[in-house]
């Protein structure tokens, strides 16, 4: 079976690149070498390089491991924290389709 190609929009690419740059700057401010961070995060040096470039193919777990080494793991908690659109939809009373009730089994 052919592997599906990941489609990343330009805006998302820019966000990933900025996030990678922020991680690299945080590493440099702490005066950690790339080798030190990779070793402490238990990832390869090329994986760290890919993170610092904002590559979309790196697992989110690897990003979190690097943030943990840098002492920034709690920054992950800010992702989608202020869901402005979701709150507006909720306030507007727009509801999603509810699931149908479960059918009773013939045996139960």
Specify the residue for token string 């599906």: 4
The Cα 73–Cα 101 span in angstroms is 40
Is 103 part of a structural domain of the chain?
no
pLDDT of residue 1: 67
* CATH number where 42 lies: 1.10.260.40
The Cα 50–Cα 61 span in angstroms is 13
- List, for residues 62-102, the tens digit of each pLDDT value: 999 999 999 999 998 888 888 888 888 888 886 666 777 77
Residue 2 vs residues 5, 46, 63: alpha-carbon distances, Å: 9, 26, 27
Q: Count the neighbouring beta carbons within 10 Å of the beta carbon of residue 101.
A: 6
Is 5 part of a structural domain of the chain?
no
- List, for residues 45-60, the tens digit of each pLDDT value: 999 999 999 999 999 9
Q: Is 47 helix (H, G, I), strand (E, B) or coil?
A: helix
pLDDT of residue 94: 63
The Cα 12–Cα 35 span in angstroms is 28
Is 14 part of a structural domain of the chain?
yes
- List, for residues 19-39, the tens digit of each pLDDT value: 999 999 999 999 999 999 999
Sign of CA dihedral 81, 7, 27, 29: negative
Q: What is the domain range of residue 68?
A: 10-91
pLDDT of residue 87: 84
Question: Span 6-23, mean pLDDT?
Answer: 94
Confidence check: pLDDT of 108 > 60: no
The Cα 42–Cα 1 span in angstroms is 31
Domains identified in the chain, total number:
1
Question: Span 4-21, mean pLDDT?
Answer: 93
Between vectors from CA 90 to CA 8 and to CA 11, what angle results, nearest 5°? 15
């Amino acid at each position: 079976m052919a592997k599906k190609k990941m489609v990343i929009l330009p805006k998302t690419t820019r966000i990933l690149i900025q996030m990678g740059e922020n991680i690299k700057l945080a590493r440099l401010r702490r005066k950690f070498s790339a080798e030190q961070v990779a070793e402490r995060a238990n990832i390869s040096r090329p994986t760290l390089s890919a993170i610092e470039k904002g590559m979309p193919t790196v697992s989110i777990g690897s990003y979190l491991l690097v943030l943990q080494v840098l002492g920034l793991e709690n920054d992950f908690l800010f992702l989608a924290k202020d869901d402005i659109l979701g709150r507006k939809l909720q306030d507007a009373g727009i509801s999603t389709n509810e699931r149908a009730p479960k059918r009773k089994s013939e045996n139960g």
